[in-house]
Structure 1
């Protein structure tokens, strides 16, 4: 218990130390620096727009795949329900002598239909998960590119400030 408590307290201090932001550096303003700052802001805004567009496209693709998967799942379950009804109907129509045999066959048919529906579910869930992973990858790449542009823009402004 003491070790757990010590770990929690240490993590609070570590988080607090990490969360502190450095003091902003003051950059002397001149027309050249202002111009460079404007260029940097424009580059950053363009990068952010690009990132937002990538995010939206990725989300749209995931939604499209998920919708398609849900339709396929619904179709498979409807087919399974139809097989259940058909099997139960055969049992109801069977003679008294053949009732047990018909019930056994119906159970096999129902199990087969359920298995097929479960396979479709698994396959569609995997497709959605794959698309979600690709979307997350695309979003991460876009965020990294935006961070790169921001860092380069900040460096350009500092460089311009150093020249003047």
Structure 2
């Protein structure tokens, strides 16, 4: 083998070795990715299991009295989704309820304010009416005095 041919052969070997290393890193990355995904799945399952255990403990620890609609809402939440998704509908409903309650409170305040203003308006009308009445009496008195 000549020097040039030997150099080409070694260069080819280096390239093949680099390619093998690149492939190995790629496979290693994929393997780590799968392991991370598996870990996430296991965490999720573990969280769900703990949640079910906690629910079981609550039930065993003396089930509290519930309102009629509460059980239905819980079942509805269970049907909608598992894990982190569970009960989101209920939570959104509570938030909506708080928001509506806040709006109702503001409306009540506006009504009270309106009543105050309404009371002031009533007093003002009464005052104006009395002033008109006095003025009329004064004018009639003056006219009466002229006659």
When normalised by structure 2's length, the TM-score is 0.42
- Larger RCO, structures 1/2 (Cα 8 Å, 6+ apart): 1
When normalised by structure 1's length, the TM-score is 0.38
| Rg (Cα) greater in structure | 2
